[in-house]
Structure 1
């Protein structure tokens, strides 16, 4: 009874911790999205400089990551040659900078709710790029699932009250660059046995992002910022915004490390619905019935995709367990045969 009670307590504690990690990640992701929208939207804080905001984020995150690794020794740096850095990390950094730049730019033109609906295309982009680069096998059922998600997003776009072509292009570009980045991480780093947690990732990738972002910033935003004589850098606004962005990276580390990437995908769907509800009720963005019907269709497609991934993961784990059990049985049989051979030799000598 006592043993069963302690087991139940342990399982309950694990479940509560998992839900806590999910809640923290949803809260911080929710906060960063709404905060960025507040800063960039012309009707709110009115600071429409997405490249500058991204540079502030990357500078803050890179500095904190440097302190956590080199001063506080919070995590160990990854051993990396200059060739590996240039051939693997730099391309990933370039894609990440483009993804962040385009994603933040979209907040100027589109509502929070519609942006979340467009983000439902992420599995479609990741799978399509994976198939093109031969990292994912082509499956007709999966492609049909991807088409259903795309159809749902298209219906949601058709019903969007504040449709802006340039904003949609920016957000679709952000999705494409982010999906390519995720596939390239698998090709350039994971396949080589290198894994970067959010802190080491920022430590290596953030400086690349800064370099890549400085080029468009000098030509696009710097001349405009020079002419704004009445602008004063608000350390409270940009400091807390950057801190939230860094905390979100830590939350990703906790959530994926303590649960799984699949849990984060499922939690992301919950977060999207919460953001849509918040955008409609608090920010007063217009959400039409066609919006909801289209996103509902896309949501079902994403839910089915996550379910399929979960089932595939279970099959893989079962196969791994069976293989390990077979290997263990083989070792035991070999040891038994060895002992029997040893006994026979001893008896012969006697």
Structure 2
């Protein structure tokens, strides 16, 4: 009885911790998105400089990651040669900088709710790019699922009250760059046995992002900022915003490390619905019935995608558990054979 009670307590504790990790990630992701929208939107804080904002984030994250690894030595750096850094980290850093730049730029032109609807295309982009790089196998049912998600997003876009083609182009480009980055992480790092946690990831990738962002910043935003003499750097706003972005990276590692990437995908759907509701009720963005119908269709497609991922994960785990049992059976047969030989 006591054993069963302690087992139930252990399961309950794991469930509660999982909910806590999910809640922390949703809260921080929600906060960063709304905070970025607040800073960049011309009707709110009115500081429409997405490259500068991204560079502030990367500078803050680089400095903090450097301090945690080199000064306080709380995290061990990864052994990485110069050639590996150039061939693996630099391309990932370039894609990450473009993804962040374009996604932050989209907040100037589109509502928070519509951006979340467009982000539903992420599984489509990851699967399609995975097929191109031969990390995913082309399957007819999977492609039908991808088309259903795309159709749902198209319906949502058709019903968007504040449709802006430039903003949509920016967000779709951000989705494409992010999907390519995720696939390249598997090819360039994971396949070589290199795993980066959020601290080491920012330590290696954030400075690279800064270099890539500096080039367009010089030509696009620096001349405008130079002429804006009335601007004064608000340490409270940009400091807390950067801290939230850094904390979000830690929350991603905590959520995926303690639960799974699948849990984060499911939690992401919940977060998207919350953001759509917040955008409609608090920010007063227009959300049309056609928006909701389209996103509802995309949501069903994403849910089915997550279900397929869950099935594949379950099958993989079952296969792993079956292997030791097969090995034990083999050993047992081998021992029995030896015993029979000795008895003969």
TM-score normalised by L of structure 2: 0.98
Output aligned runs, 1:200-239, within 5 Å. Answer: 200-239=200-239
Q: Partners in 2 of 1:335 and 1:190 — Cα distance?
A: 39
Question: What residue is the counterpart of 1:193 in the other structure?
Answer: 193
Question: What residue is the counterpart of 2:47 in the other structure?
Answer: 47
Question: What residue is the counterpart of 1:73 in the other structure?
Answer: 73
Show CA shifts across 1:272-315 (max 9, x none).
00000000000000000000000000000000000011011111
Q: Partners in 2 of 1:66 and 1:336 — Cα distance?
A: 58
Question: What residue is the counterpart of 2:326 in the other structure?
Answer: 326
Question: What residue is the counterpart of 1:145 in the other structure?
Answer: 145
Question: What residue is the counterpart of 2:265 in the other structure?
Answer: 265
Q: CA deviation at 1:237?
A: 0.1
Q: Partners in 2 of 1:229 and 1:213 — Cα distance?
A: 23
CA radius of gyration, larger in: 1
Question: What residue is the counterpart of 2:64 in the other structure?
Answer: 64
Question: What residue is the counterpart of 1:169 in the other structure?
Answer: 169
Judged with a 3 Å threshold, the aligned counterparts in structure 2 of structure 1 residues 2 and 176 are, in CA distance, closer, same or farther, namely same
Show CA shifts across 1:300-343 (max 9, x none).
000000001101111111112112211132234435555676x6
SS at match of 1:48: coil
SS at match of 2:79: coil
Gaps of 5+ in 2: none
Question: What residue is the counterpart of 1:15 in the other structure?
Answer: 15
Question: What residue is the counterpart of 1:303 in the other structure?
Answer: 303
Q: CA deviation at 1:197?
A: 1.1
Q: CA deviation at 1:41?
A: 0.2
TM-score normalised by L of structure 1: 0.96
Q: CA deviation at 1:75?
A: 2.0
Show CA shifts across 1:162-186 (max 9, x none).
0000000000000000000000001
Show CA shifts across 1:117-148 (max 9, x none).
00000000000001111110000000000000
Question: What residue is the counterpart of 2:34 in the other structure?
Answer: 34
SS at match of 2:246: helix
Judged with a 3 Å threshold, the aligned counterparts in structure 2 of structure 1 residues 332 and 199 are, in CA distance, closer, same or farther, namely farther
SS at match of 1:120: helix
Q: Partners in 2 of 1:67 and 1:336 — Cα distance?
A: 59
**Cα RMSD (Å):** 1.2
Gaps of 5+ in 1: none
Q: CA deviation at 1:74?
A: 2.2
Q: Partners in 2 of 1:250 and 1:339 — Cα distance?
A: 55
SS at match of 1:144: helix
Report the more deviating stretch, 199-208 or 73-82. 73-82
Question: What residue is the counterpart of 1:290 in the other structure?
Answer: 290
Q: Partners in 2 of 1:224 and 1:332 — Cα distance?
A: 76
Q: Partners in 2 of 1:14 and 1:164 — Cα distance?
A: 44
Residue-pair matches, total: 344
Question: What residue is the counterpart of 1:246 in the other structure?
Answer: 246
